[in-house]
A and B are shown apart, each in its own frame.
Chain A
């Protein structure tokens, strides 16, 4: 309607009237091509139906193919980057991410495995359980408050239970099932749909199947229909599992009705129910009627908490040796904080990691250095790459360090000699590997000591940011008794032997012979000392560090308290024990260490620590954006005329900006007439600084501005007074 008046060809597009359409740009020769393609396609389709199964197999391949044939990244260095380098970056990304993706998926699958097994065995066994009677088997799954992780769990449950028990699995959410009828409809629809999907039948058919063989039609919320359907499927078990994902959100009356109904159908359809419970079973039971609770035959299952899953994902995807790219401490801390504060869910965490990878390889030309040695040839490195390396902060730091260490030749060659620099860059690969190994091994040793409480994630982030801090661990070691130290050393030895499967860190016995031998020496020594001491009748070895060595004595002499400090006498064994502890601590400080990640030369090529893209892309602040655009439009437009009017009114501002400024000053009701006169006073003919707009012209703009304010949800209609609008937004 309105658009037809606009005959400006540049702005006018026919398609704007259509709500939905397939895009085919005019002028592109594809539209006739498509016309031609249609009949061809039709023929192919008819043949396709026959060989659908073969195509499904091809599908799976298609997915992997599509990633390899993907377009290369745009060239960087202002377009100077060679296509090969850009392609190589893409290739590195395409190989780096799937490895991690696979590992993460594995971790997630593993995380809920025990729960899944328990639940399915319960559901399976419940049938044969004689004590059950006619009660409905009910699994109470304590999921905790994180609904996003629940989603994953129920997805896995539906997969696992569908396989294990050959039952129909129906997931109910409170939002999708507001009343009994809707809930039943959903149950019946989902229970009947699943099989038709498996059967590979066409969409047209399953509507018939759903309503029984004999052609009788049932209402779509009639369980009789489901019964008939199950009978038609010749499904002997006739089992349906209904999962209430957010059971707390369901009305208790609805739950009661549903359960009563399921119970009454129990003889014909084997219903089992699962409840996702965020609080506790007791609270849940309190919400049900006693009679309803009596119809349930329940068992309780715990779920691995989201925190633990997060830790595992973190270990394998971020800290693990498989991770090509290292995420820097600033970014990591922010990611972890968001997980903790906002309960953002593990999937958001994973996509954030993925996004960091994408950013790094997309926008950092030096990421090409992460390619393996075969594909990274000398020719690939352009002068731009070399120059880029020389502008790095870590390069400067490296050169300065060399100068300080009086390695002047080294420094000079770095700055001047390109081939020398390239050689150094290649050497850095090994240094990076060494650094990572050292970091991970140290962390692994620290965590396997298990002396200081703390999560691995925090430890890792802290180590990246400022190097490893051993002080709390050393303090803990010093307080250890003679019996604990050998156990500790044994733990360390096994840790070195086995490595860490979570981190994908193999054992490094061969490389750490020295450490192993000194550790075992100390262990033997301490054990010998303890033996000696026992022979001498001493109760336990004491070192100079243990708290008991100094005894505070309180004596009451003539009603006055006397405090005296008494240094307990240390035996020779005690002294030797102290020395052993000292050497142990010494050993640790030499073997467990790590530098901050940004102390390494060329770390920019393999570490990503930019927080801004992550923040902009995942935690947008649209309020601020809108406000900035509306109050200081020249920040976006960069125009001369509005730059003076920072935060104040000026006639040259876009209309909506002026109206917004006026809007800010109003109360909760806005008189449109006054708004108009204020606007017109600013831009109209009579105003001093105005543009001298005529009344109708100004009114046209005013209309547009007001309509845009409404579109952005700033104002809404108000019936309180004539020609008034209500203000809706305060907090932007």
Chain B
């Protein structure tokens, strides 16, 4: 397309001197970029300036004018702070898009171009994200390269070419070739451009091109290297965005299926052995006694109307217990009457069934064992409690010691209503509260008004002590790994579910349990019991068809429909699991251990 070519020539005329002019006479100067690269590349770069307008202008003639008009101010450009063009131009611009005569304004080409351009503005991005842009750019380049290579191969294989396709092919070839050229370029060139880009980004006021500095570029080469591990030492917020980038969640497909998961029994026998071996036992004790030294201080704070809140890593249950003992002994030593009037109430927040009503009734029992707090709305209960408290003859002081106020495992305590009730309780002058928290973000539980009615004094009590009582470790981990949902609260849960089901369902379940137990026996005697699933205490399965036949024999159900309905109930309660093997036979199995199954069967038969 002659006019187009002409324009680029003109461009060159205008641009050439301008590029030279601001260069200092630097002895270390690297060869001028324009001289160093093949002419094709140069043309590509120059034409690129016109690339964007060309998309907008349909006719070539106009386009020239536009270009010329647009290009005249270019001499000033190197001085301008936004000098990023070299790096921008160098990379990935389809080289012969202009020279090869792609009709401008073709819908396919510009969109492709535009997309490319989006990928290739690394300068700004680098300011923000520093690390990964070069590599991402590289990936984008490479994938484009790969695609175009594939396109070229396809083309050759097919042989047939239409006009449109021809153009596409052209572009593909260009992309492919450009990448070749790019690789041919010496590394220094790249560094140089990088350096410039960086310079432009960081010190925009610099008037010089900074090309003289391009000589020493040790930093940039190392930076471009792709590191296999994620960058360390990012600030937390950066890390969040880094790790939550779309598509960055690449984890392996390994599972724990090869590992035999722990059972409760094994865990506790391990724990017993382990407890003796803990190398930090002594230090943990020392830490504990260090915290215990501040008991008088906490007691003083409690007496002055503050609530004490202990935070930090490790179980603080033991510490709180000791504190209770301290409070108890100090109050009993001071005078006999105090013992009766100072009541300490322990609340184990880690117990999931804890309710605010339970707390309130216990408090009322502590004030006056004969008084029966009418149950009802907790707020009304608190009102009644306060009346009781103010009417109790010897002034009763209540100290609430609450473990795991914010336990994420105990949803009732974390509820805002519960928290505000507790705050209301603790704001009463004769009730004081000392609590422990387990999470680092416990402060989010309270808004400023709650916080001021709690009137907390916080203390760092990192104990490193194991949460042996608060946590049911095995269940927690299994639930975390999603292995827990398979059973409805163990044996008791099954009994509970079965009690609510009709006779037929109970019979059917007994049948399945019996069959599975038989399969267990078979499996142990080396028989062909089909084992379904890995670990998690899952037993062998029984064949669906066989089970159905047996159920019909025993008049449990008359049709497969009814059989399915019964099974669905079990499925809903997650007390059976089903599984299809490779040839499509369905197996049913029970997510229980053999001993549990035996006791379930016993219960069913009795």
A residues near B (Cβ < 8 Å) are 1-3, 5-6, 8, 11, 13, 15-25, 28, 30, 33, 37-38, 41-42, 44-45, 48, 52, 55-56, 58-59, 62-63, 66, 69-71, 73-74, 147-148, 151, 175, 189, 193, 197, 200, 202-204, 207, 342-345, 347-348, 351, 354-355, 358, 362, 616-618, 620, 622-623, 625-627, 629-630, 633, 636-639, 641, 652, 654, 656, 665-674, 676-677, 696-697, 699-701, 703-704, 706-708, 710-713, 715-717, 719, 721-725, 727, 729-732
Contact = CB atoms under 8 A, between A and B. Distances in A.
A22 B393 contact: no
B154 interface: no
Interface stretch (B448-456, B559-567, B596-604): B448-456
A667 B248 contact: yes
A639 B279 contact: yes
B441 A715 contact: no
B239 interface: yes
Given A56-B391, A348-B448, 7 more contacts: A19-B348, A20-B345, A147-B447, A207-B374, A362-B300, A625-B311, A641-B279
B462 interface: yes
Contacts of A28: 328-329, 332
B401 interface: yes
Contact of B304 (A354, A617, A654, A725): A354
B236 A732 contact: yes
Interface in B457-480: 457-460, 462, 464, 466-477, 479-480
A189 B251 contact: no
A637 B283 contact: yes
B440 A622 contact: yes
21 contacts: A6-B272, A13-B469, A20-B354, A23-B401, A55-B391, A73-B300, A200-B387, A625-B462, A626-B440, A641-B279, A665-B230, A665-B232, A667-B243, A668-B244, A669-B251, A671-B251, A671-B254, A711-B409, A711-B439, A713-B438, A717-B480
A193 B376 CA distance: 13
B270 to A, nearest CB: 4
Contacts of A175: 416, 420
Contacts of B153: none
Given A2-B475, A707-B471, A707-B476, A22 B251 contact: no
Contacts of B555: none
Given A42-B369, A351-B306, A667-B250, A618 B457 contact: yes
Given A630-B313, A671-B254, A706 B455 contact: no
B438 A204 contact: no
B481 interface: yes
Interface in B242-263: 243-244, 248-257, 259, 262
A624 to B, nearest CB: 9
Interface of B: 229-230, 232, 236-237, 239-240, 243-244, 248-257, 259, 262, 264-268, 270-275, 279-280, 283-284, 286-287, 296-297, 299-301, 303-304, 306, 311-314, 321, 324-325, 328-330, 332, 334, 339-340, 343-348, 351, 353-355, 358-359, 362, 365-366, 368-371, 373-374, 376-377, 379-380, 383-384, 387-388, 390-393, 395, 397, 401, 407-409, 416, 420, 429, 437-443, 447-449, 451-453, 455-460, 462, 464, 466-477, 479-482
A676 B384 CA distance: 53
A201 to B, nearest CB: 9
Contacts, number: 350
A696 to B, nearest CB: 6
The 10 tightest CB contacts between A and B, nearest first, are: A700-B270, A203-B384, A23-B344, A637-B283, A620-B458, A62-B395, A730-B240, A673-B254, A707-B476, A629-B313
A398 B211 CA distance: 63
B317 to A, nearest CB: 8
Contact of A676 (B259, B299, B366, B462): B259
A654 B464 contact: yes
B254 A617 contact: no
A69 B569 CA distance: 65
Nearest to A724: B251
Given A48-B393, A706-B477, A707-B473, A701 B313 contact: no
Contact of B346 (A21, A66, A147): A21
Contacts of B311: 620, 622, 625
Contact of B345 (A23, A202, A666): A23
Contacts of A342: 448
B415 to A, nearest CB: 11
A347 B455 contact: yes
Given A668-B244, A699-B259, A730-B239, A712 B480 contact: no
Nearest to B397: A66
Contacts of A618: 456-458
A8 B391 contact: no
Nearest to B304: A358
Nearest to A671: B251
A348 B306 CA distance: 11
A626 B406 CA distance: 15
Contact of A710 (B345, B347, B401, B480): B480
A710 B408 contact: yes
Given A59-B395, A147-B449, A25 B328 contact: yes
A11 B346 CA distance: 17
B266 A204 contact: no
Which of B301, B345, B429, B480 has the most chain A CB within a 10 Å cutoff?
Answer: B480
Contacts of B347: 19-20
Contacts of B280: 637, 639, 654
A725 B252 contact: no
A629 B312 contact: yes
B391 A347 contact: no
Contacts of A42: 369-370
A711 B256 contact: no
A64 to B, nearest CB: 11
A719 B312 contact: no
B426 to A, nearest CB: 13
Given A21-B345, A731-B237, A639 B440 contact: no
A623 B452 contact: no
A731 B240 contact: yes
B463 to A, nearest CB: 9
Contacts of A13: 321, 469
A148 B452 contact: yes
Contacts of B299: 71
B365 to A, nearest CB: 7
A67 to B, nearest CB: 8
A656 to B, nearest CB: 7
A59 B395 CA distance: 7
Contacts of B274: 697, 700-701
A717 B477 CA distance: 9
A130 B470 CA distance: 66
A673 B256 contact: yes
A11 B468 contact: yes
A65 to B, nearest CB: 8
Contact of A725 (B236, B464, B481): B481
Given A148-B449, A148-B452, A189-B377, A717 B251 contact: no
Contacts of B359: 20
A63 B429 contact: yes
Nearest to A29: B332
